[in-house]
Structure 1
């Protein structure tokens, strides 16, 4: 029993300690997140918290592998995650081109597809998986713009995904996912509003990649269906996807920095970071809890229809309130 929790405990403690060190140290200027056009914070803040998350994840996975040897896919998966993190660290310091990042993300995606899902998947689906992975990497980066937001989504989302894998008997997959949730929780201790440290690209890109990777791996092992990770992480997926579609419809340059995500507009309408993120946590917990119930009791269609209606109502309410500058 102890061996099951030890990897997550190690991941949490190491991530928390490294986050504290990085948040408390005098760091070079280029490792600070300076407020910009898409920022909601007002002062330069250390942005290498993703390194703490990554170190916690790697340490937790190594402990898991030592106590209970993981499947062969672990090597491909861990290597791909480190590859994404490495290019993100380089980008934080040297500002790499979008093409360079895209190529590395594609290589990492190829490692996961080859090592974890290739045998049972045709080429059309592999192409779809690759596109979805690249989108999730960028999506998580887009949504990493508020204290405690991305870290909270990681803690709640990966915890729920790990439970779903455990319900299905995929214990090795559940253990690896739980380590990610624990590492994110260690970081969240110092990222909750008012944040002392941000995760930066190394954190957001790695977590987005892990969302895609664990989704594909779990689907391939029939631990859960595709709708489950989509619903669990829908607070991010819906906000980012609707926002980019709306901006494209309005003929805006979708690649330019902006502050038009729903969570950003709530803050601009007068909500504090803490109030906004706590309300987002309620939404995340509702999505995660209902997804697990739907998965366990196999009541999928009614639940998905209900959530489609809920998101439509939420979008309309937020849109009208923000447009008319009416306090919530």
Structure 2
């Protein structure tokens, strides 16, 4: 009961902070102005994702005191997440050059991997593989990609918040299924803070997340997946399955744009979810569809992997239909 009360408090705090941030954005004219690359039509306050950052960051010491979080993991989440959120907050107010953002992203990822203790073992067909320094380097690039793809995928109302809530709750369930009840509270905490923001961001959005929130969520979800692999190696595959919608859409879109020689950091509207929102004329059907895919397609496969199923087989089962959907909606094809 105490844990449920704690999560409710985090949800309410995030709900209130998002409202305050919306007031601040309106007063300071921190608005997202529509352009030809936008998926919205009205000027909208941005920066509401900072409520998620503050909600999670302020609650982490509570998890540490409950022994649901080690000191090393506390510093990993605080340091890496705080740096990414700070850079995103500055970028929301005064755009930074892409190279400086990328330097900060790599610094945050390295910090996180070091405090987590390096890269966890991989489990492939029952064999555990330790990749050493190569694994650590791959983990850093994985985190940088996760935080950037989350930013890329935060392009329609509610999508980033729905992803964080459903993946966070699903991650907590995976811990329960695999017998690690003491680890459930951290992903549930992320879901609670994200839900408070989502109340204001659900279609039609009254405030946008901004780079501070989207980059933070991408990095934290990446760190949680690596942390899960330290608890049980096969859980890394389960988390990658849960994150499948964002990973597949962003990766396929980026790959196609790179093949055409386009500048991938420039704004565009060629993600599958953006094409789908234009096809249906609204954001709501796409956002709800992603929630349903996460809960009724990806979660059952991830649960099978968490209970002992082969991770690579699970990835294949989960991703093939997602690739088909992304191709169906022309991910990465020029407008």
Q: Normalising by structure 2, what TM-score?
A: 0.87
Contact 1:157/1:232 (CA < 8 Å) preserved in 2? Answer: yes
* Residue of structure 1 in register with 2:47 after alignment: 48
Structure 1 segment 1-328 matched on structure 2, within 5 A: 2-25=1-24, 26-29=26-29, 31-68=30-67, 70-73=69-72, 74-118=74-118, 122-222=132-232, 224-285=234-295, 286-296=297-307, 298=309, 300=311, 302-319=313-330
Deviation of 1:142 (Å):
0.3
Shift of 1:303: 3.8
Q: Tell me how far apart the structure 2 counterparts of residues 109 and 170 of structure 1 sit (CA, whole Å).
A: 26
Question: Is the CA contact 1:147–1:195 (under 8 Å) kept in the aligned structure 2?
Answer: yes
Using the TM superposition, name which of 32-41 and 125-134 deviates more.
32-41
The farther-off stretch of 141-150 and 76-85 is 76-85
1:29-56 deviation digits (Å, cap 9, x = unpaired):
2x21111343211111111111111111
Q: Is the 8 A contact 2:119 2:136 kept in 1?
A: no
Q: Which shifted more, 159-168 or 258-267?
A: 159-168
- Aligned-pair distance for 1:310? 1.5
**Contact 1:12/1:182 (CA < 8 Å) preserved in 2?**
yes
Deviations, residues 34-84 of structure 1 (Å, cap 9, x unaligned): 113432111111111111111111232233334446312212322221121
Cα deviation, residue 236, structure 1: 0.5
Secondary structure in structure 2 of the residue aligned to 1:27: helix
CA distance in 1, matches of 2:113, 2:311: 27
Q: Is the 8 A contact 2:31 2:46 kept in 1?
A: yes
Unaligned runs of 5+ in 1: 324-328
Partners of 2:118 and 2:313 in 1: how far apart?
Answer: 32
Paired positions, count:
320
Deviation for aligned residue 1:85: 0.9
Q: Which moved more, 1:154-163 or 1:183-192?
A: 154-163
Provide closer, same or farther for how the CA distance between residues 47 and 136 of structure 1 changes in structure 2, counting only shifts above 3 A: same
Q: Distance in 1 between matches of 2:191 and 2:27?
A: 27
- Larger mean Cα displacement after TM superposition, 52-61 or 236-245: 52-61
Q: Secondary structure at the match of 1:269?
A: helix
Say if 1:250 and 1:151 are closer, same or farther in 2 by CA, change over 3 A.
same
Q: Secondary structure at the match of 2:155?
A: coil
